[in-house]
Amino acid sequence: MPDPAILWFRQDLRLADHPALAAVAGRPVLPVYILEDGPWAPGGAARWWLHHSLAALGRDLADRGAPLLLLRGDPRRLVPDLAARIGASEVHAGRRTEPTGRRCDAETHGALEAAGARLVLHRTALLHEPHQVRTGAGTPYGVYTPFSRNVFALLEGLAPPLPAPDLLVSAAAAEGLALDALDLLPKPPVPDWAAGFRDQWQPGEAGAAARLAAFLEHGLAGYGDRRNDPGAAWGTSGLSPHLHLGEISPRSVWHAAKARSGKGLETFLKELLWREFSHHLLWHRPEMPEAPLRADFAAFPWQSDATLLRAWQRGRTGYPIVDAGMRQLWQTGWMHNRVRMITASFLVKHLLQPWQAGEAWFWDTLVDADLAANAASWQWVAGCGADAAPYFRIFNPVLQGEKFDPAGLYVRRWCPELAALPDRWIHRPHEAPEIVLRGAGITLGRQYPAPVIDLAAGRARALAAFAAIKGDAAA
């Protein structure tokens, strides 16, 4: 009988197209997941998803003969101890891009090596290795478009996905934790803030496969036209939380999409490559979740205001497209991508709140909270990241709402108190005549808030703040 091996699951909670799992084929295997604490541990919404994803993975592994071991703590101690206990000479896992994960893996590797074992890392979460894609000058990419062109070319020979194994041979049993002992779900006296998630999502590998199949059938062909319409059916794939925890591999998604045709295909593939670009940035700029990538923004004169931040978090800003997005986020753990950009721009530019405050809120409330994508996207909106939108590009939430939700379908769904407003006023209730507001049963400041800031004043303040740091840089 070959020596046993440990299969350490991280952000690859699946059995199909799992290179680390394929590497231990034919050997007794002990599958393990370790809940790690520390900086950027999963936020509340992501923990809800993780609970259900681990439950699904545990069932799938048990059905194949190798139950999942659950642990909590420091892998640098737990993994070497576990390897010694079962006599494993190898631990196989997916490579991570997060700074704390990379440090943990390096130190775990050292501890295993000192004990005569080794940690073997595989590409399980990305289409490419972030440290291997370079510009012609041999440097990391800082601009998305040339990065995507390069990676598109590299992926021409992308190998097909690997099948899931039919059976596994279980290594010696080890004592672990029950899933509930990981405390991933809200429990009394905390209200069940995740109650709305269950109707929206099916975590797990089967849910990911079903979501992909449905999107390919109903959404891919029109994706290029519908992806900016937050009220459209199948305007988005909804795959981001499944991809974040690796319930489906990006390689599986890439090949399944490439087998289809239609003008939405290239647009969808580019969205997958934005995710890759974010992880490329995080690998080379590990400070990205905390510090602006553009050094001049370290002196940006943010005006932190707990009242304004709370109004934004609760969807009570007085601007319907912003409020609809923030309420969708709270109720479902997710927000449409176009609305993510609008709400983020409003926070950092009109309200002049630091982008890190928005990043932290999204981290705690998004089921797809991904450190690389979250940090890269917030820095992009704030104008301080790689390939960032210029700071002086300030989304007007009224005009954005009228452009991308012209009939107000999205706003009416998530801000039902505005449902009776005519289309003309649905995105600007603060400008509606009093007779229109009365007819819709609205008194500003009661059923719906008055605007927390005048858009013109907020824009002027943001531009003045940007000019101030530019002046400091020039001086």
Q: How many CB atoms lie within 10 A of CB 269?
A: 18
Catalytic residue among 49, 283, 312, 355: 355
Of the residues 40, 107, 302, 417, only one is catalytic, namely 302
204: alpha, beta or left? (left if phi > 0; alpha if psi -120 to 50): left
Distance (Å, whole) CA 331 – CA 306: 22
Out of 378, 380, 414, 425, the active site residue is: 378
DSSP-assigned beta bridge partners for residue 69: 32
- Whole-angstrom Cα distance, residue 119 to residue 458? 52
Secondary structure E strands in 74-145: 90-94, 118-122
Judge whether 312 counts as a catalytic residue: no
Copy the structure tokens of residue 403. Answer: 């452009």
Query: Residue 113 catalytic?
Result: no
Positive or negative torsion for Cα 10, 11, 15, 18: negative
The one catalytic residue in 40, 107, 271, 417 is: 271
- Which has the closest alpha carbon to 28: 190, 163, 168, 181? 168
The Cα–Cα gap between 97 and 62 comes to: 29
Going by C-alpha positions, the residue among 341, 345, 350 that lies closest to residue 303 is 350
Q: Specify whether the CB–CB gap between 60 and 31 falls below 8 A.
A: no
Choose, from 274, 396, 402, 417, the residue flagged as catalytic. 274
- Annotated active-site residue 378? The verdict is yes
Catalytic residue, candidates 40, 193, 337, 396: 337
List residues with catalytic annotation: 271, 274, 302, 337, 355, 378
